[in-house]
Every structure is written in C-alpha cells, then in structure tokens.
Homo-oligomer: A and B are copies of this chain.
Amino acid sequence: MPKIVDHDKQRRIVAEAALRVIRKSGLEHATVRRIAEEAGLSVGSMRHYFSTQEELFSFCMGLFVERVEERLENLKWEGPLVNDLKCMLLQFLPMDQERTLEMEVWFSFSAKTLIYPELKKLSNNMQDGMHKASQFVLDKLVANKLAKPGLDIDLETEKLYALIDGLAIHGILQRDRLMPDRIESIVEQHLRTLYFDVNQNK
C-alpha cells in the first residue's frame, strides 16, 4: 500500500521547521539543508513542498496571518467595547511565547525587505492586518458614537498603528524592560484617550 502523505500538513511541518531555524539562526541561514534537517526530511524531498525559498517564506508569513486571524476569530466580544478592542489589539503584541516568536521572525523579515524588495509583499499582509485593526478600532468607536469629539480619525489610525508596532518591537527587543502587563496598560490607557466615556466626561 502506498504511503499517503497529506501534502498540506507536510507543508506546514516544513514551514514550522523553517520558522524555528529562522528564529535560531537568522533568515540568511535558513537554507534548504538546515530546514530539511530540522523538519526531519531529506533535502531532495523538500522540493515536493516548496519549489523556491521565496515560496516557503511566503507560506510562513501566511501561517502568521492565519494564526492572528484565528485568534481574532476566537475573541469573545462580551463588552465593554473598550475592553474588546484592547483584546483585539493585544493579538498583535508579544503577550506570550507564541506571539513573541511570531513577531521576532516577522521583525527579521521586515528588516530584510529593505534590502530584498521581493520580500516586501510577504510582510505586507501582516502590516495590512495591523493597519486594518487600528482602522477597525477607530471605526468601531465612531460607529458606536464613542469616539471623543474632535478626533482626527485618519491621524489617530496612523498613530495607533505606529504605537502598536513600536510596542511590539520594544516588547521583543527589550523584553526585560517592557513586560506584557505594561504593554497592556499602555494599550488600555491609549484607548481611553480615544474613548468618550459618559461616566468619566461629565
């Protein structure tokens, strides 16, 4: 009986191995040979799953986007809104080991896009996701008539996006100083500056 290999499952195994290699040794050392070794596959079999390195990296970035989307889908929108929005934004921040690993690799990819423009589109998905999340926060506040009067929505969207990314980077590069609970307080405080709380604003 021939061995039945789940092609998509194997691609995921290879991608997960690639992510571990990238995390450990950096993107430029993530060679086919090393990834095959990490995945427990032969170098020859690798090309069944990915024909180019770019295809593999693209798949890896896709995995991240998928994971973030999965976390977003699993969020319970139980209110109050400001709390739900905070939980959503925290999905893009290094709050636990899984998210930290994702962001570290994403950061390596981002630095590379300066030199290899062909990688640029790979990182755009994640960036788009973060930008959309910021947009979503502002839109939601406006739609619920909860945005502070006089807010410049476009500017606040851009600002929130930069703040989240800045916190993400400090959270991974300076994790001894910027702990997850501190990140959470800053996000919460920032949302409160956007939020028109009837009880607070007499």
Contacts and interface: CB of A to CB of B under 8 A. Distances in A.
B189 A152 contact: yes
Interface string A20-35: 0000111010000000
Given A159-B163, A169-B165, A111 B115 contact: no
Interface stretch (A41-49, A72-80, A139-147, A178-186): A178-186
A36 to B, nearest CB: 20
Contacts of A152: 189
Given A26-B112, A152-B189, A166-B165, A178 B158 contact: yes
Given A107-B114, A114-B104, A114-B107, A162 B174 contact: no
A165 to B, nearest CB: 4
Contacts of A186: 155, 158-159, 162
Given A112-B26, A114-B104, A158 B173 contact: no
Interface residues of A, number: 38
> DSSP majority for the A interface?
helix
A60 interface: no
Given A108-B114, A114-B104, A189-B152, A162 B170 contact: yes
A172 B114 CA distance: 8
Contacts of A127: 173-174
A36 B104 CA distance: 32
A58 interface: no
Contact of A173 (B114, B178, B185): B114
Contacts of A18: none
Contact of A162 (B107, B110, B166, B185): B166
A164 interface: yes
7 contacts: A107-B110, A107-B111, A110-B169, A159-B186, A159-B189, A163-B163, A166-B167
